[in-house]
């Protein structure tokens, strides 16, 4: 399996790790509950800012995908904007374009939660904790706010990572037009992420597969070629989401489009904003949550560019341990009704059980596994202190592995 099967969660985790590495023990210069403009470090009132932003064409709300406090902030900001401008559309990075009809059914109230997650392929495509996003989805449904799927399938991303955008046939680009070139500062920030991939031993977005025998030639792609394709992967994502936002804005009545998207696509105007400007929409607002570990120095780049138009001070809340759902500690994907282990996380239950990268999960608790949703559901029902039997296929050899979940 290539890195592109899991680049979305890995990108998010690496960016989060980079935030932590640059943080200091000093207090953040953005107080909890405070809106601040990084450009001049002035504070703004919630009422005044919402009144201003409700008249803008696009408002982009950033997140770290695993941070529940960020999703709460997004919901509250959405509610404030909707109160002032109910002519709204909400665009989500979490959904590929092919799931748009499912989002439409959800908003019309035709699907329950389980059916919605299954039909939108949540556990195959996005895989982050759905409970953190569901309040946003319920808000959209309760108010009948259209939801827009603005991402693309991983097949396209894999193709760009292997070949480069220009060599991907037009009929498989999902309608995505050629991205505007990445600014040099964006390339530099992506280089840090790319190098971090290599340092932790997972290579680049297109890590050449090992030869199947001694005579098979290895990939001759240079590091710079792989990095250039890594950049093209990111700009393809940025372009696809920008196009979805742009199209939604051009709909009847010109609605306010609010984007729910990872910070890495928004900071310093490098990603989606850059592509929107290339499409002709230049007045998008970027808002980011700001945790206590971020420093004042992070508010601007070395070149003096503000990280966002406005940031909001947040502080993580320690959730009770009993509220967290059991996790096996693996990154998984589905291919041809086969659930594959892409990566076993360090110090996880899976590692302790002896599960390896590349294993196929055939059964869990006696249930035949054909998709990630079924496996995730079984794992999350596992009670503390119990054992979960798994039938594993490793290179054609089947074996039973027992995953032992701790008592607390």
Angstrom distance (rounded) from CA 275 to CA 140: 26
Average per-residue pLDDT for the chain: 87
281 and 137 housed in the same domain: yes
Is 352 inside any structural domain?
yes
Is 297 inside any structural domain?
yes
Instruction: Specify the CATH number for the domain of residue 386.
Output: 2.30.42.10
The pTM (predicted TM-score) of the whole model is 0.77
27 and 142 housed in the same domain: yes
pLDDT > 50? residue 2: no
From 313, 341, 357, the end of a domain falls on 313
pLDDT > 50? residue 178: yes
Angstrom distance (rounded) from CA 98 to CA 103: 10
From 286, 313, 340, the end of a domain falls on 313
Both structure tokens of 138: 């319920």
390 and 248 housed in the same domain: no
Query: What is the predicted pLDDT for the residue at 237?
Result: 96
Residues whose CB is less than 8 angstroms from the CB of residue 279 and which lie 6 or more positions away in sequence, other chains included: 242, 243, 246
Say which residue the tokens 């990108």 belong to: 11
92 and 240 housed in the same domain: yes
Q: Are strands 285-290 and 387-394 parallel, antiparallel or unpaired?
A: unpaired
Angstrom distance (rounded) from CA 237 to CA 278: 15
Query: What is the predicted pLDDT for the residue at 33?
Result: 95
Say which residue the tokens 């009809």 belong to: 101
Is 267 inside any structural domain?
yes
Instruction: Specify the CATH number for the domain of residue 237.
Output: 3.40.50.11550
Is 167 inside any structural domain?
no
Q: What is the CA radius of gyration of the chain?
A: 22
Is 212 inside any structural domain?
no
Is 195 inside any structural domain?
no
371 and 285 housed in the same domain: no
**In the chain, how many domains are there?**
2
Is 128 inside any structural domain?
yes
337 and 396 housed in the same domain: yes
Is 219 inside any structural domain?
no
pLDDT class of 383 with cuts at 50, 70, 90:
confident
Expressed as residue numbers, the domain containing 357 is 328-404
């Amino acid at each position: 399996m290539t890195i592109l099967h899991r680049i979305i969660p890995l990108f998010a985790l690496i960016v989060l790790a980079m935030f932590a590495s640059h943080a200091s023990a000093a207090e953040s210069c953005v107080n909890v509950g405070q809106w601040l403009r990084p450009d001049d470090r002035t504070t703004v009132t919630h009422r005044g800012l919402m009144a201003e932003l409700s008249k803008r064409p696009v408002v982009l709300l950033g997140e770290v995908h695993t941070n529940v406090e960020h999703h709460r902030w997004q919901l509250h900001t959405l509610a404030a904007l909707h109160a002032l401008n109910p002519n709204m559309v909400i665009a989500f990075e979490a959904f590929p374009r092919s799931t748009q009809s499912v989002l439409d059914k959800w908003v019309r109230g035709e699907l329950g939660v389980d059916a919605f997650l299954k039909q939108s392929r949540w556990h195959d495509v996005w895989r982050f904790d759905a409970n953190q996003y569901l309040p946003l989805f319920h808000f959209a449904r309760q108010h009948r706010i259209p939801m827009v799927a603005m991402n693309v399938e991983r097949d396209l991303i894999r193709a760009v990572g292997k070949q480069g955008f220009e060599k991907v046939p037009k009929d498989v680009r999902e309608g995505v037009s050629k991205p505007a070139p990445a600014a040099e500062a964006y390339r530099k920030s992506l280089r840090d992420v790319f190098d971090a991939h290599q340092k932790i031993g997972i290579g680049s977005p297109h890590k050449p597969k090992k030869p199947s025998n001694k005579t098979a030639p290895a990939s001759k792609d240079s590091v710079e070629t792989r990095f250039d394709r890594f950049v093209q992967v990111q700009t393809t994502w940025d372009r696809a989401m920008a196009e979805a936002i742009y199209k939604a804005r051009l709909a009847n009545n010109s609605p306010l489009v609010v984007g729910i998207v990872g910070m890495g696509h928004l900071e310093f105007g490098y990603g989606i904003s850059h592509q929107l400007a290339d499409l002709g929409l230049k007045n998008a607002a970027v808002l980011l949550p700001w945790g206590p570990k971020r420093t004042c120095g992070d508010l601007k780049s070395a070149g003096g560019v503000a990280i966002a138009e406005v940031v909001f001070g947040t502080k993580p809340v320690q959730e009770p341990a009993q509220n967290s759902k059991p996790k096996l500690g693996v990154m998984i994907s589905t291919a041809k009704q086969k659930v594959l282990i892409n990566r076993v996380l360090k110090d996880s239950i899976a590692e302790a059980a002896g599960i390896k990268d590349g294993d196929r999960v055939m059964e869990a608790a006696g249930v035949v596994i054909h998709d990630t949703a079924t496996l995730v559901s079984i794992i999350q029902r596992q009670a503390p202190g119990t054992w979960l039997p798994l039938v594993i296929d490793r290179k054609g050899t089947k074996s039973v592995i027992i995953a032992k979940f701790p008592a607390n």
